Amino acid sequence: MKTVLILKPLRPAGLDLFAARSDLRVVRIDAPTRDDIARHLPDAHAVCIKNTPLPADLLDAAPDLAVVSKHGVGLDNLPMDALTARRIPVAWIGDANAGAVAEHAMLLMLALARRLPQYQARARAGGYIVDPDWPTFDLRGRRLLLVGLGRIGTRVADLARAFGMRVTAFDPAAPDHAGVARAPTLADGLSRADVVSLHAPYTPATDGLIDADALAAMPPGGWVVNTARGELIDEAALIAALDSGHLAGAGLDVLRREPPDPADPLLSHPRVIATPHTAALTEDTAEAMSRLTAQNALNGLDGRLDPALLANPEVLP
């Protein structure tokens, strides 16, 4: 009998797939610690994981580990070099959450453009009509720079174009996408962007990508939206740009520290709209992600992984 280790909860859509198999033992740890992982990983043949760090130094104690199935697309919590060296495939969810994250990026842009928090508070207080201190704007005609033109970035591009935005992308590795201009450099793209939306992975090269110089390169009055990873932004520089008025607003679904400190000045800043890393977690998407995470684990155990859903396809024979 093979063991599946589930780190953090899966929805019934995924658990039911495991329950249908009589040849599996399922171990569920809803709030895993390193000690929990060290205790159970040696018996695991498959691991389903969300954002819990998987320590590389524990892998050697798991001789039968055949697949790691990521409930998501970010890989920064996984020791990819160590897993690939062990020829352990890492499966992810492909496009399952791309539509939800793209819609959330547009939600943040719309909320910034229409000053949603300010006008919700104004309406609840019995206020009426636009406050001159909080002007609102159309998205139509705004210049959007997408930093990253992958599964999510391309969907944001299509949605933004439907709103009449002029879309440019900076992503040297991505193929062209219909209706999207390409910026030769990040600085060039930033210099012509009213709105910057981040859709790049977190790597050492993208850590602090949007720093003081990047923000200064944007025209005054712009907005920054981040539904990717908090580490992409230098948060001190972001606060300074917001405080100075150079940046008109920021929409943030992710922060460097998660869960955040309630005293984080970004959370109380009047020019910031923040959500708690929920862009991908609609009911529809959560069910699909759980189902695909479980199916990827089963496919790994059964030797029929889809190479298109592997982060390290080079490990396959």
* CATH code, domain with 155: 3.40.50.720
Q: 124 and 242 share a domain? A: yes
Q: 105 and 173 share a domain? A: yes
- Is 40 catalytic? The answer is no
Q: 165 and 264 share a domain? A: yes
Q: 84 and 112 share a domain? A: no
What are the φ/ψ torsions at residue 307 (nearest 5 degrees)? -55, -30
Q: 110 and 224 share a domain? A: yes
Query: What number is the average pLDDT over the span 250-261?
Result: 96
pLDDT score of 81: 97
Cα dihedral 173, 178, 183, 189, rounded to 10, equals -120
Q: What is the pTM of this model?
A: 0.89
118-136, pLDDT tens digit by residue?
Answer: 999 999 999 988 888 899 9
Q: 240 and 293 share a domain? A: no
The pair of structure tokens assigned to 51 is: 């954002």
Q: 131 and 251 share a domain? A: yes
Q: 144 and 172 share a domain? A: yes
Residue 300 has pLDDT above 90, yes or no: yes
pLDDT tier, 73 (very low <50, low <70, confident <90, very high otherwise):
confident
pLDDT score of 74: 86
Of 3, 76, 50, which is closest to residue 300 (Cα–Cα)? 3
Query: Which residue of the set 155, 229, 271, 291 is catalytic?
Result: 229
Q: 85 and 234 share a domain? A: no
What is the Cα Rg of the chain in Å?
A: 21
Q: 103 and 174 share a domain? A: yes
How many C-beta atoms surround the C-beta of residue 53 within 10 A?
Answer: 14
pLDDT score of 218: 98
Query: Which residue of the set 142, 199, 271, 277 is catalytic?
Result: 277
- Is 229 catalytic? The answer is yes
pLDDT score of 117: 95
Q: 149 and 63 share a domain? A: no
pLDDT score of 311: 96
Residue 90 has pLDDT above 90, yes or no: yes
166-193, pLDDT tens digit by residue?
Answer: 999 999 999 999 999 999 999 999 999 9
267-290, pLDDT tens digit by residue?
Answer: 999 999 999 999 999 999 999 999
Which of the pair, 108 or 132, is modelled with greater confidence? 108
Domain count, the chain: 2
Average pLDDT over the chain, rounded to an integer: 96
- Is 258 catalytic? The answer is yes
Q: 200 and 242 share a domain? A: yes
Owning domain of residue 75: 2-96+283-315
Instruction: State the burial class of residue 81 (Cβ atoms within 10 Å of its Cβ: 0-12, 13-18, 19+).
Output: exposed
